[in-house]
Structure 1
Amino acid sequence: MTSSAAGATPERPVVAVLGTGIMGSGMARSLLRAGLDVRAWNRTGSRAAPLAADGATVTETAEEAVRGADVVLTMLNDGPGVAAALAAASGGVHAGQILLQSSTVGPDAGADLAQRAADLGLVYLDAPVSGTRQPAEQGALTVFVAGPSAARAAVDPVLDAIGQRTVWVGEVPGAASRLKLVVNTWVITMVNNIAECLNLAEGLGVDPQTFLDAVKGGPLDSSYLHGKSAAVLSGDLTPSFALSTALKDTRLILDAAASAGVRLDLVEASADRFARAEAAGHGGEDMIATYYAGRAPEKHGD
């Protein structure tokens, strides 16, 4: 059952997922578990293909994916990627169709995408998410949403499927993206803080586990500290959130801060660390691979 009105509430909405990387594929599987019909498209088709085994209809084109869908969910790397996907899908969209734009693109690109959506007659919801691979797979993301309240009922089944919590920020798109940058600032500085603590422990000859045990259970403890430290200590840097993507988000934060007249020293330092780690070949690993940007160089004999 599909509809073209933003306020309608289809019993089983059809969702077109454009972008099936780490996050998009996890969100698509959460939608499928909730009983929603999912059409999946990715520019590199091989990344969408595995979703067919989970029950998704994998399409060859973005246009095919969105035709007749109630909600179009975009989860791509950046603003230009979303813009390209919308252009590719434009022949299949219809007036009143909801665009749930969940990529982290920053305020400037978000404004551009909102205008592109309006030009296509789409109802634009600015809806970035907080979470990584596992929450996406579990339907446990936090979704920040800004957009017209008339669209809420129609999109609620989608939001309930992908997230454990939805925070409606306001009626005007852009507000959710600004909040997402603030949240990501916390995450980015925290992951680099963890990396630097491990770097210093290593440099001073302190067993990292002794450090973790020292803070365990106290006010300085966190599950994030132990999870990211375990990834480094085990050498398993399978990305929950890729370092190159974290660098992209860090640059979005710095651009937004500069426009607002705000200086973010820790974020600037984080960008430098991410860039060094990426240059050393760690861009596709989990963002805690920023650890490698702070390791002391190996000493070689004469």
Structure 2
Amino acid sequence: MTAADSARTAPGAPAVAVLGTGIMGSGMARSMLRAGIPVRVWNRTRSRAEPLRADGATVTDTAEEAVRGADVVLTALNDGPSVAQTLKDAAPGLRPGQVWLQSSTVGTDATTDLAHRAGELGLVYLDAPVSGTRQPAEQGTLTVFVSGPSTARTSVLPVLDAIGQRTLWVGEEPGAATRLKLVANTWVINMVNAVAECLNLAEGLGLDPRLFLDAMKGGPLDTPYLQGKSAAVLSGDLSPSFALSTALKDTGLILEAAEAAGVKLDLVEASAERFTRAEAAGHGDEDMIATYHAGRRA
């Protein structure tokens, strides 16, 4: 660490290793760096981590190198298998007592498995999925759901304050936060498909979709989400703040959890079909409002 880096480091700030620098991981890393938290980052494709060097992060070649000496390890990866493999790769650099802040949305079964793996390595496991997309991650305004031992709260508080505007402590049991995240994602997934279908129907009936948006504007049924996602479609800018392929993955996790709980989710099943059609048409890497394309005539 250079003298300039030391000057930017907040007194008493924990050293953090961020594993995974996609949309969410890179945003959270930048938020921590702005707060004076020293950050080492790793990504399987190193070129996706390199831009964080300009923000003050140390970019490492391996996950093992990133976690060695860190106080907190934050994982922000795509799914359960990716998290499990990365933990295996990082294991030689880990030490008992490190706090693992697991922010990836991996579902209930994978969360249980990861908690067991953490116990075997002597890590303090915090189940900590986040609610938000690219902009909140970059701005440090995510909502963080956390479950795990309350004894770890003090050590991770600077990290949680840097990445989120609100932290909900859900309980001592790892997995409770993940279950809440699946419920929250159910709301988002159904809402984005509702927006897409309204735009589809307006166009199909020969209406300018802006008339529908104007009819909703300022009323009790209007939301910034409706206006923002519709604007993305109408402008043709589907740059991902949350990728459609990731939304499809999360939809699968929700349906698995619902089946295990004996709950029938008809709207989520329909959303899964729309996401699948949109992904098959080549829109998987676009924002999840690209589900709009699943409802257009060929």
Same fold (TM over 0.5): yes
Provide the rounded CA distance (Å) in 1 between the counterparts of 2:43 and 2:119. Answer: 23
Q: Give the match for residue 131 of structure 1.
A: 132
The two structures, once aligned, show a CA RMSD in angstroms of: 0.6
| 2:70 aligned partner, one-letter code | A
> What does residue range 89-238 of structure 1 map to in structure 2 within 5 Å?
89-238=90-239
**Counterparts of 2:123 and 2:184 in 1: how far apart (Å)?**
27
The answer as to 2:250 corresponding to 1:249 is yes
> What is the distance in 2 between the residues matched to 1:125 and 1:22?
21
Deviation at 1:285, TM superposition (A): 0.1
| SS at structure 2 position matched to 1:142 | strand
Displacement after TM superposition at 1:296 (Å): 1.6
Which letter does structure 2 place at the counterpart of 1:92?
Answer: G
CA deviations 1:245-290 (Å, max 9, x no partner) are 0000000000000000000000000000000000000000000000
Q: How does 1:45-124 map to 2 (within 5 A)?
A: 45-124=46-125
Which residue type is aligned with residue 124 of structure 1? Answer: Y
Moved over 6 A (4+): none
* 1:16 shift after superposition: 0.1
| Structure 1 length-normalised TM | 0.95
- Match of 1:292, SS state, is helix
Task: Give the TM-score taking structure 2 as reference length.
Answer: 0.96
- Counterpart of 2:122, as a letter, is G
Structure 2: segments with no counterpart, 5+ residues: 1-10
Q: 2 CA distance for matches of 1:243 and 1:249?
A: 10
Q: State the identity %.
A: 78
Write the letter of the residue equivalent to 2:123. L
Pairwise CA distance, 1:52: 0.5
Q: Spell out, residue by residue over 1:205-244, the C-alpha distance to the aligned partner (whole angstroms, 9 max, x if none).
A: 1111100000111111000000000000000000000000
Classify the secondary structure of the residue corresponding to 2:100. Answer: strand
Alignment gaps of 5+ in structure 1: 1-9, 298-302
Amino acid at match of 1:69: A
Give the superposition deviation at 1:57: 0.3
**d(CA) in 2 for partners of 1:19 and 1:296?**
37
Q: C-alpha distance in 1, partners of 2:97/2:173? A: 17
Give me the whole-angstrom Cα distance separating, in 2, the residues matched to 1:229 and 1:30: 28
Q: Matches of 1:147 and 1:112 in 2, distance apart?
A: 14
Between the aligned partners of 1:207 and 1:222, the Cα distance in structure 2 is: 19
Secondary structure of 1:246 counterpart: helix
The CA deviation string for residues 92-138 of structure 1, in whole angstroms up to 9 with x for no partner, is 00100000000000000000000111111100000000000000000
Counting matched residue pairs gives 288
CA distance in 2, matches of 1:71, 1:36: 11
Determine helix, strand or coil for the equivalent of 1:73. strand
Q: Distance in 2 between matches of 1:168 and 1:67?
A: 28
CA–CA distance in 1 between the matches of 2:144 and 2:89?
Answer: 26
